[in-house]
Amino acid sequence: MTQTTSTGDSPMLSLRGIDKSFGAVQVLHSVDLDVRAGEVTALVGDNGAGKSTLVKCIAGIYTTDAGDFFFEGRRVHVHGPRDTAELGIEVVYQDLALCDNLDIVQNMFLGREKRRGVLLDEPTMEEMARQTLASLSVRTVRSVRQLVSSLSGGQRQTVAIAKAVLWNSKVVLLDEPTAALGVAQTRQVLDLVRRLADNGLGVVLISHNLNDVFEVADDITALYLGRSAATVRTRDVTSSQVVELITAGRSGELGLAPETLSATA
C-alpha cells in the first residue's frame, strides 16, 4: 500500500471516479463517495445498483479498474483487505461472520488473539471486550462469556459491530445491519449506529430501509445502475425524492444529467 500526501480539509474517506467491471459487464461507473468523521453516510440503491461491489472495493476484496481512493487526505492504493484494516476501515457484512459455538470474547478476538507467552491472555481480552461494549453504551449483553448461539439477532449485530470497532477503527461500513430484526432490536442497532458516529467514527450505512436511513444518516448517497446519482444532506430531501433517485436516477434538479440517463437506457 503506497500513500501520497495531499493538503487541505477533506473527508475521512473519499472515493473519486471508481470503475469496476467483471468481464464485459461494467458494474461501477465513475462512482464518488465521501465519508466524514462523526457522521453517518447512507449508501442506498436498488438491487443491482452496485452497492455490494462498491463496499467490496472499499474493503479491498475487489481491485478497482480506475479511480482514486483517499484516506485522511492522503491518496492511497489498496491491494487487499489487510491494507484497509491497517488504515482503520472495518466492514460488518450482513451475515456477521460470527461463530455460534464461541463466546463473545472469542468472537471479538478471532484471528487476533492476545497472548502472554504461549498462552492466550484471557483477562486482557475480556477487559478489552467489556471496555469496547461499555464505550458503545451496550447494556443488553449479560456476560462477555455468553455463547453467540444464545444471543438475539440484535445482540449478534451489536457484537459484530463491537468487534469491528475494537481495533481502533476510523471508518465502519455496515451492510444492512437491521435486516430481519424486530422493532426493539432495530431500535437497539440504530442507537448503536448513531453512537459510533457520535464517538468520532465515519460510518457507512448500507440499507434498503429508508425509515432507518432518515433516522440516523447525515448524508445520503444514492446509486443508480452503478452510477452516483446524487449525494445529499438528509435534512434537505424527502423520502420520495430519495426513492426517485434510486429508481430513476433523478428527482427534479437532483441526480444524473438527462444525457447520462439516456445513455443508460
Start-end of H helices in the chain: 51-59, 81-87, 104-108, 122-135, 153-165, 183-198, 210-216, 239-248, 258-264
Q: Among 100, 103, 150, which residue's Cα sits nearest to residue 129? A: 103
Residue 6 reports pLDDT greater than 50: no
Instruction: Give the C-alpha separation, 232 to 28, whole Å.
Output: 20
Calculate mean pLDDT across residues 225-230: 95
Residue type for position 53:
T
Query: Partners of 221 in the beta sheet?
Result: 43, 231
pLDDT band (50, 70, 90) for residue 247: very high
pLDDT band (50, 70, 90) for residue 8: very low
Residue 25 reports pLDDT greater than 70: yes
Homologous superfamily (CATH) for 3-96+169-264: P-loop containing nucleotide triphosphate hydrolases (3.40.50.300)
Domain boundaries, the chain: 3-96+169-264
Over residues 170-196, the pLDDT tens digits come to: 999 999 888 878 888 889 889 999 999
Instruction: Give the C-alpha separation, 181 to 187, whole Å.
Output: 9
State the pLDDT at residue 9.
Answer: 54
Q: Range with the lowest mean pLDDT among 17-21, 114-118, 238-242?
A: 114-118
